[in-house]
Every structure is written in C-alpha cells, then in structure tokens.
C-alpha cells in the first residue's frame, strides 16, 4: 500500500495522505498484529481513541498523530488544532485526562470479546449463515441471504435481533452485528437466529 501511494504521489505531483482510524488497534485475535502505518508511509495521520482499547464506551478521549515526517506537518498540526476549535469541540474533561494518563500501560482483557466472537461465529455458521471471521474489533459481518441486506435486517428485527446494514460501512450485501455484549446474550440470541435462518430459507 505504501509503495502504491508513494508511486501515485510521484505520478500526480501531489502529497497523498493516509488517514488511519485505529480505535480497535489492541483488539486483535489469533496472533494478528496491527502494524504502525507511520513506519511504512510518512504521510500517515493516525486517529486513536481510548474508548475501545480500555473498554470505556461513550468516552471520547484520544489523540491524533501527525508525524514530523509528514509533508507540511507543522501546518497540519496547527490546522487540526484550529479545526477542533472551529467545530466547537473542547478538550476532554481534565479528570478524564488524568485518569487516562495513569492507564496508558493498561491492557484491555479481550478474552470476553474473543469468547463471544467464537460463540457467535460458530453458532451462525452452523445455522447456514456465511460469515467473515473477525480478526479484530468486536463486529461480525454476515453475508445477507437476500440481495438487499435491509430485508435481512427487517427479518431479524421481527425476531428481536438488531443488526445494521453493511452498506452503512461500505459492505453492501452484508450486515454488521456487535458482540460486545454479555456471553449469555450471545447464547440466547442463537435460537432467534435459527428462526431467522428458517424464515430466510437457509
């Protein structure tokens, strides 16, 4: 990817920036390691949030990395600071900043997520659903049994299951479901998914 972008920069005579949104960096399974893209491509900007890595749902605290090696890095840092003010954002509460500062070395225990991931993936594939096994984060993408994934979402909703159309995430023909819930919720959902599978002819 870095080579492609570097070649395109030369071809077009412009700077091309890669924006890496990395709130799930630490939530990786099966030995997967997420590379630091700034090591491979100078014009990389990284956005990070502690809300996922420290399991702090709803908290909006993180940082933006604009490496010195990036083109016009000083101007970009100034622009990011001004844009934050113009958009009306303020700093995270000072207490939250102090808490995060003391938790920088903390690691989220992903065993619960991994247990849920395995249970949901295995349960759905046994029912005939085609799933992409997640290597990170806490979302499972499932191929819609119908061409229009909204029909799948509506059918699931009738059985008290809320799933989101994949087209909202650039994955038309799939749905996204979160497994950052209790293990019991995952297990209790499977009979409902069985009803959905039956209704959709799987």
pLDDT, average across residues 76-95: 82
CB 97 within 8 A of CB 70: no
Provide the edge-to-edge strand list for the sheet that holds 164-165.
131-132, 139-143, 174-178, 164-165
CB 172 within 8 A of CB 149: yes
Q: How confident is the model at residue 58 (pLDDT cuts 50, 70, 90)?
A: confident
Report helix, strand or coil for 34.
Answer: coil
pTM of the model: 0.83
Q: What is the pLDDT of residues 132-141, one digit of tens each?
A: 999 999 999 9
- The topology under which CATH files domain 2-102 is 3.40.640
Pick the CATH number of 111-199 from 1.10.10.970, 3.90.1150.10, 1.25.50.10, 3.30.980.10: 3.90.1150.10
């Amino acid at each position: 990817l870095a080579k492609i972008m570097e070649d395109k920069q030369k071809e077009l005579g412009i700077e091309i920036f890669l924006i890496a949104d990395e709130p799930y960096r630490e939530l990786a399974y099966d030995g997967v390691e997420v590379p630091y893209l700034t090591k491979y491509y100078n014009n990389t900007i990284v956005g990070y949030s502690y809300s996922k890595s420290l399991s702090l749902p709803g908290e909006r605290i993180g940082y933006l990395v604009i490496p010195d090696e990036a083109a016009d890095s000083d101007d970009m840092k100034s622009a990011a600071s001004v844009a934050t003010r113009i958009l009306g954002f303020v700093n995270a509460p000072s207490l939250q900043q102090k808490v995060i500062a003391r938790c920088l070395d903390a690691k989220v225990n992903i065993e619960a997520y991994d247990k849920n991931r395995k249970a949901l993936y295995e349960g759905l594939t046994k029912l005939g659903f085609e799933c992409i096994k997640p290597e990170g984060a806490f979302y499972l993408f499932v191929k819609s049994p119908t061409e229009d994934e909204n029909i799948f979402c509506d059918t699931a909703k009738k059985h008290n299951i809320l799933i989101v159309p994949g087209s909202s995430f650039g994955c038309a023909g799939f749905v996204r479901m979160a497994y950052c819930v209790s293990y019991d919720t995952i297990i209790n959902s499977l009979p409902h998914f069985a009803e959905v599978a039956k209704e959709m002819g799987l």
